[in-house]
Structure 1
Amino acid sequence: MSLRCRLPGPGVLSAALLLSVTSATAANAHVKWFCAFDVAGSPVGLAEVLCDSFEQLILVSLLALFVGALLERTILGEAMMRSLDRVTAWARENTELMFRAVCGAFFVSLWSLGGIILTPELTTTSTALPWFQLAIAAGFLWRATMPFSALGIVILFGIAVANYGVFHLADYPVFLGVAAYLALTGLQRSLFGIRPLDIVRYTAAVTLMWASVEKWAFPQWSFPLFIQHPEMTLGFDGAFFMKAAGAVEFALAFALLCTPLVRRVAAIMLAATFVSAIFEFGKVDAIGHSPIIVAMIAIAADDARVPLRVRQLAALPVGYGAALAAFIGLYYGAHSVLSAAGAL
């Protein structure tokens, strides 16, 4: 067994997970915005990723999800839900306003900075795009024009795909979710019975699960950050730290698809870690992550109730395992096919 796959003790493993959730700012900053990266490079082999420490990390993550789901069926879980309802009342009543304000500020920032399509590493030399982004921002002033701004976001996403490829933009489906939310909210409609906020939730989960696999596949992208800020690894080996951070992020992302209390707590934890990263990485991180931060706040404030059934608890390990296998398989499979075709 290689050094990277040497099995940590249970106490160290649990500490790594806990500290990754509470303090791993490097793992929550988008590494492509701050470090050199090469999507066309060779990812870490699956045999190295799927080693003993990985299995333990996944099992601990699954256990945490299961305990959270069980808690939801108790008096304590119901009390937590009522407390969340009270604390997040303002955000729940003003969700649309939050999205419009934050997205408006986001696109004004892109217009001001110039040379950026949607995120810092998606650069452009176009002089017209910044003004297009300002027009998108202006559309958030009125509900009637929100669908046009949403269409503008989809157009920007399409331009980014044309310039950088589908694989690169697989990092950012949450933008399409936000666009769907804005369009449907502006039109006061749902999508075949699916609430606009649920579309954001689903796309945010997909975005973060994909990003988790990227942490396992290309942990070396973050190593320069650890050289500059060694305290970020909390004393752990950089490779193991990224593996643990990816496991935590995958679990929290999957939790967004779970029952109300579990997903609300996960959204709070994700929002907290994204915000904490801003203090380390500054305004670039604040601007880039603002749409997903407001999405997490909205999900945390959502008071929709769905009765928890026993079969959902039984299906949790199967669903988690299936999601894990699907995202790892899709990431590595797509990378292999596109790399062979020279499309990365």
Structure 2
Amino acid sequence: MFLFAKSIAGFSFCILGTRAASAHVKWFSAYDVASQPRGLENVLCQEFELLLGVALLCIFSGCVVERTSLGEMITRSLNRFTEGLLLHTETMIRAICGFFFISLWAVGGILLTPELKTTSALVGPLQLAIAAGLLSRRTTPLSAAGIVVLFGLAVRDYGAFHLADYPIFLGLAAYLALTGLQKNLFGVQPLDVVRYATAVTLMWASVEKWAYPEWSFPLLIEHPGITLGFNNEFYMRAAGMVEFTLAFALAWTPLVRRVAAAVLVEMFISACFEFGKLDVIGHSAIIVVFVAILSDQRPKETDTPAAWLAPVGLCAALTATLLAYYVGHAAIFNTTIL
């Protein structure tokens, strides 16, 4: 009973106040992608299972509320609050992405994120060209191609497994190309493409918090208030579960994903105050995607899945992501899974 109460408290407090869950640990602490991760028998402990139980209850409750008059009231409130943002979603994304690439050029020596260093003299001009292309819808497909080139260079230099942290950049490239060409991707709207890419990005990052919690321990020592009084091991389990649940919610039904986006906006912006301008620059692109998802007022799907399918989907997504991470890591780096 004590562990269950602790899990509820940890999950709730992490949603309300976590910052380490939003800061990308590779930007601030030493890491080794090829090192042996925590075995699955260590990750899938009793605390993890209880946190998962709380997550399943939360996602199920959110789906139930969405179908009620309270859910309709929340939707109307969100619509009023985000109406101005909705009218300028594309411009907003292009502007923030432009800021992001100009910032990378100004800092210098970075491909896409702070830990992806480069000495190539061509990267800076390419980043400026990407930013310039975002000034007009007609040239955004060229900017999208430039982002793909940078992503390819990062894969060449750092490997596919490391870049599995960042499918959001491919999602943004797809969004920019599709909006510039005024097309969908096999019937999928451009915003939905980047929304799914963002969900995958955060789910993968969540597993890293369980596989390598020790990477974050120096940050927690330097910023002790982040843990909210919980021990570091439990806090990282809770932070990872919160992030995974919110990431999964981004791929679910309209109100659930909009509420998840609102929580993620708060988490990532609060992390910027804690970790400074590096975090502001590095996370600006993902924050604007959260704002776009929050502002999305498209009509509710007529074929909304039953509420009980959300916990099933969350378990399936968690199982698939854990297996993909550990099996992929073992295959590439010759590490063990258990």
User: What is the TM-score of this pair, normalised by structure 1?
Assistant: 0.95
Count, aligned residues: 335
Pairwise CA distance, 1:312? 2.8
Counterpart check, 1:250 vs 2:250? no
Counterpart check, 1:173 vs 2:171? no
Matches within 5 A, 1:51-200: 51-200=45-194
**Secondary structure at 1:18 match in 2:** helix
Counterpart check, 1:220 vs 2:214? yes
Per the alignment, residue 298 of structure 1 pairs with 292
**Does the 8 Å CA contact 1:8/1:53 hold for their aligned counterparts?**
no
Q: Which runs of 5+ in 2 are unaligned?
A: none
**Does the 8 Å CA contact 1:259/1:308 hold for their aligned counterparts?**
no
Per the alignment, residue 268 of structure 2 pairs with 274
Q: Which of 231, 234, 237 in structure 1 is aligned with 2:231?
A: 237
Per the alignment, residue 202 of structure 2 pairs with 208
Match for 2:141: what amino acid?
P
Q: Which runs of 5+ in 1 are unaligned?
A: 1-6
- Computed over aligned residues only, the root mean square deviation of the Cα atoms, in angstroms, reads 1.3
Per the alignment, residue 6 of structure 2 pairs with 12
Per the alignment, residue 17 of structure 2 pairs with 23
Residues of 1 paired with 2:245 and 2:334: CA distance?
31
Residues of 1 paired with 2:320 and 2:125: CA distance?
39
Residues of 1 paired with 2:169 and 2:114: CA distance?
14
**Does the 8 Å CA contact 2:202/2:247 hold for their aligned counterparts?**
yes
**Does the 8 Å CA contact 2:253/2:304 hold for their aligned counterparts?**
no
Residues of 2 paired with 1:276 and 1:122: CA distance?
24
Residues of 2 paired with 1:236 and 1:48: CA distance?
19
Residues of 2 paired with 1:226 and 1:259: CA distance?
34
Residues of 2 paired with 1:202 and 1:8: CA distance?
36
Distance 1:70 1:123, change over 3 A: same
Bigger drift between 72-81 and 315-324 goes to 315-324
Pairwise CA distance, 1:192? 1.1
**Does the 8 Å CA contact 1:73/1:308 hold for their aligned counterparts?**
no
Pairwise CA distance, 1:305? 2.4
Residues of 2 paired with 1:161 and 1:11: CA distance?
43
Distance 1:187 1:273, change over 3 A: same
Q: Which of 255, 261, 266 in structure 1 is aligned with 2:255?
A: 261
Residues of 2 paired with 1:311 and 1:106: CA distance?
37
Residues of 1 paired with 2:260 and 2:309: CA distance?
19
Pairwise CA distance, 1:313? 1.9
Residues of 2 paired with 1:42 and 1:271: CA distance?
32
**Secondary structure at 1:27 match in 2:** coil
**Does the 8 Å CA contact 1:21/1:269 hold for their aligned counterparts?**
yes
Identity %: 57
